[in-house]
Amino acid sequence: MDAKDKIYYLRLGLGVFGGALSGIAKFMLDTAGDAIFLIVILYIISIYVIIYLFKIKPTENGEITMKDIVLNGLGTYIMTWFIIWIIILNLLLKL
């Protein structure tokens, strides 16, 4: 598994985690700002995890750039968070 795959799967997992956390906390329309704040904080934490825990740093040959570290998996992160949030919130509201 190369570095870009690790970044992608980390963001996918954090999207699921953030969506589940947002759903369990029952963030709705009036508190959606709190949910967005939560995922922004998780996304910033993911950058530090990639650089310091996974030790993936920008290379001089351009194979991995800082742009890759920051933007790779962003769309997946947002969509996964949003879908999981909606599913869990709907399940909890039915109970």
pLDDT bucket at 95, cuts 50 / 70 / 90 = confident
| Prediction pTM value | 0.91
pLDDT value at 50 more than 90: yes
Domain of 7 in residue numbering reads as 3-94
Query: What is the tally of structural domains in the chain?
Result: 1
Spell out the residues 6+ positions from residue 80 whose beta carbon is closer than 8 angstroms to its own.
12, 15, 16, 19
pLDDT bucket at 84, cuts 50 / 70 / 90 = very high
How much of the chain, in percent, has pLDDT values that exceed 90? 82
In whole angstroms, give the CA distance from residue 18 to residue 42. Answer: 7
In whole angstroms, give the CA distance from residue 47 to residue 10. Answer: 10
What is the distance between the terminal CA atoms of the chain, rounded to a whole angstrom? 41
What's the pLDDT score for residue 60? Answer: 87
- Mean pLDDT for 32-52 is 95
